[in-house]
C-alpha cells in the first residue's frame, strides 16, 4: 500500500474512527484496515519511548580506554627488521611462532605490522607545458 494511504489510515485510527468510516473515506477494504490497525497497535506496544520503571534508567558507564600493550611489543626489533626486508605479516607471524614460541594470534601481528608500516606516497610528475606542445 502506498505510504500516504498508510499515513492516512494511521491518522484516522489514532483519531478513533471506526474501520467502516476509514474504508469509506480512503476506499481501502476493511480487512486491510484491520491488518494495519493491528500493526499500529503492536508498534505502539513495543515503543521504547515510555520507561517501564518508576525511575529513569541510567546507561552503564563506558569501559575505560584500552591501554594494553601488544603481544608483539617484546619482538618489535625483530618485526621491524623483517619489515625492512619487505616480508609480509604472515611470514613474520610464522617466524615468531617458530623462533620465539609466539602464543598470540596472527591478527595481533597484522595489527602491529599495520602500525609500523610506512607507506611512501605515490610519485606524481608535474608536466609544465602548454596543451598541444
- Tell me: the pLDDT tens digits for 30-75? 899 899 888 888 877 766 655 555 566 777 777 776 678 888 999 9
Band of the pLDDT at 127, cuts 50, 70, 90? confident
Does the pLDDT at position 91 exceed 70? yes
* CA distance to 2, 71, 76, per residue, from 110 (Å): 50, 12, 13
Q: Whole-angstrom Cα distance, residue 124 to residue 118?
A: 18
As a whole-number percent, the residues of the chain with pLDDT over 90 amount to 33
Is residue 17, in this structure, part of any structural domain at all? Answer: yes
In a domain, 12, yes or no: yes
Flag whether 15 is in a domain.
yes
Per-residue pLDDT at 69? 84
Under the banding of pLDDT at 50, 70 and 90, the label for residue 102 is very high
CB 112 within 8 A of CB 70: yes
Give residue 83's domain range.
73-116
Residue 129 lies inside a defined structural domain of this protein: no
Which residues 6+ apart lie within 8 Å of 131 measured at CB?
A: none
Q: Is the pLDDT of residue 119 over 80?
A: no
Q: Establish if 18 belongs to a structural domain.
A: yes
Q: Does 65 reside within a domain?
A: no
Confirm whether 84 is domain-assigned: yes
- Residue 2: HSE in the Cβ half-sphere, 13 Å Cα cutoff: 6
Stretch 7-11: mean pLDDT: 88
- Angle of CA points 42, 45, 46, to nearest 5°: 90
Q: What angle do CA 108, 110, 113 make, to 5 degrees?
A: 110
- 87 lies in a domain? yes
Q: How many domains does the chain have?
A: 2
Amino acid at each position: 500500500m502506498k505510504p500516504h494511504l498508510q499515513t492516512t489510515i494511521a491518522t484516522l485510527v489514532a483519531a478513533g474512527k471506526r474501520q467502516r468510516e476509514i474504508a469509506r473515506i480512503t476506499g481501502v477494504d476493511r480487512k486491510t484496515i484491520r491488518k494495519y490497525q493491528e500493526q499500529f497497535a503492536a508498534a505502539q506496544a513495543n515503543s521504547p519511548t515510555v520507561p517501564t520503571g518508576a525511575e529513569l534508567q541510567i546507561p552503564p558507564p563506558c569501559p575505560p580506554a584500552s591501554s594494553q600493550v601488544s603481544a608483539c611489543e617484546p619482538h618489535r626489533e625483530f618485526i621491524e627488521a623483517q619489515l625492512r626486508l619487505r616480508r609480509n605479516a604472515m611470514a613474520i607471524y610464522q617466524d615468531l611462532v617458530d623462533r620465539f614460541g609466539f602464543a598470540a594470534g596472527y591478527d595481533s601481528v597484522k595489527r602491529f605490522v599495520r602500525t609500523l608500516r610506512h607507506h611512501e606516497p605515490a610519485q606524481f610528475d608535474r608536466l609544465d607545458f602548454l596543451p598541444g606542445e
